[in-house]
Amino acid sequence: MPLVAANWKMNPTNIDDALDLVRGVMSVARGHADRVEVAIFPPFPWLLAVSDLLVETGVKLGAQDAFWENSGAFTGEVSPAMLKGWCQWVIIGHSERRLYVGETDEMVAKKTAAVLSRELGAIMCVGELLDHYDEGRSDEIVTGQVRAGLAECSADDSARLVIAYEPVWAIGSGRNADPEHAYKTMRLIRRIVGEMIGAGAARKVRILYGGSVKAANVQQYVELPLCDGVLVGGASLDAEEFAQIVRVTAEVYGHR
Ligand code: PEP
């Protein structure tokens, strides 16, 4: 089943707006729950209240990060064990964390393994910077990130593992990637997953595209043969826009 994930980032800044946003997408997401898995990733402080609203809707909840240890002297961190009760998913290695808080491939590998070991789903993000893209180094960068990020994963994890290909230059820029470039990179990612954790796993792992996805352009990605959905940032903060992304995805996969 395709996955449409809403990464709210550090928004909205108050709980009432967060709950309004969930209410705005809930009925559409629920109505398509048999064809599209929808997951919402609010900031940590809103997780509990949002989880109450999502009970029995079929809409999944996720966190935007998690630490690799389960408890201890790690001020400010949140562990997979703490998220386990109400989240089904965790985003790991988003480019904004790599850029602004210095997350390395090694940290991404440890976090991904920790999340999967708690039987949560992990969405591991990879993608090249604009300079890499312009220099024709996208494949090299993405290969390195996928290899490093999967270092501690096994085939047993594949059903709960998602890799989001998000070219950094496409995130929040309004410049979404050419579908041909997205397709080639997603094909490369699936090949590397196969080399690292086996061909069976490579078939099961879901691969998403992310980067300036909107209702108006989502179809060209979800139509790609190797694309299992989208990770949506800015457009997920507009309930009607996000609902339309869910509808288009349901429509495309309904015809597959
Ligand atoms: C993201 O945050 O993962 C993302 C893809 O953002 P945007 O859709 O705003 O480009």
**Ligand 1 centre distance from Cα of residue 49 (Å):** 23
148, 106 Cβ separation under 8 angstroms: yes
Residue given tokens 């980067």 in the structure block: 211
Residue 208 zone, left/alpha/beta (φ > 0; ψ -120 to 50; rest): beta
Q: How many CB atoms lie within 10 A of CB 90?
A: 26
Residue having the nearest C-alpha atom to atom 4 of ligand 1: 233
- pLDDT tens for 92-143 read 999 999 999 999 999 999 999 999 999 999 999 999 999 999 999 999 999 9
Residue having the nearest C-alpha atom to atom 2 of ligand 1: 233
**Ligand 1 centre distance from Cα of residue 111 (Å):** 21
- Identify the weakest region by mean pLDDT among 12-21, 29-38, 179-188: 29-38
132 is catalytic: no
The reply to whether ligand 1 has any atom less than 6 angstroms from the CB of 62 is no
Start-end of H helices in the chain: 15-31, 47-54, 80-83, 95-100, 105-117, 130-134, 138-149, 179-197, 199-204, 218-222, 239-254
Given this model, what pLDDT does residue 140 score? 97
Q: Which atom of ligand 1 is nearest to the CA of 7?
A: 2
Residue having the nearest C-alpha atom to atom 6 of ligand 1: 233
Q: How many CB atoms lie within 10 A of CB 155?
A: 17
**Ligand 1 centre distance from Cα of residue 172 (Å):** 5
The percent of residues above 90 in pLDDT, for the chain, comes to 93
**pLDDT over 80 at 255, yes or no:** no
Is the peptide bond prior to 12 cis by the omega test (within 30 degrees of 0)? yes
Q: Span 41-48, mean pLDDT? A: 98
In angstroms, the CA 38 to CA 243 distance is 10
The reply to whether ligand 1 has any atom less than 6 angstroms from the CB of 211 is yes
Q: Span 208-232, mean pLDDT? A: 97
Domains, in order of start, for the chain: 3-254 (3.20.20.70)
Query: What is each CA distance from 226 to 18, 136, 165, 202, 254, in whole angstroms?
Result: 32, 22, 12, 11, 16
Q: Confidence band (pLDDT; 50, 70, 90) for 10?
A: very high
166 is catalytic: yes
The reply to whether ligand 1 has any atom less than 6 angstroms from the CB of 213 is yes
Q: Confidence band (pLDDT; 50, 70, 90) for 256?
A: confident
Average pLDDT of the chain to the nearest whole number: 96
The reply to whether ligand 1 has any atom less than 6 angstroms from the CB of 236 is no
Instruction: Tell me the best of 7, 175, 245 to mutate to test the pocket of ligand 1, counting ligand atoms within 8 Å of each CB and taking the most.
Output: 7
**Ligand 1 centre distance from Cα of residue 124 (Å):** 14
In angstroms, the CA 95 to CA 170 distance is 11
Q: Which residues pair with 37 in a beta bridge?
A: 3
**pLDDT over 80 at 46, yes or no:** yes
Q: Span 198-221, mean pLDDT? A: 96
pTM of the model: 0.97
**Ligand 1 centre distance from Cα of residue 71 (Å):** 30
Phi, psi of 40 (to 5 degrees): -110, 135
**pLDDT over 90 at 173, yes or no:** yes
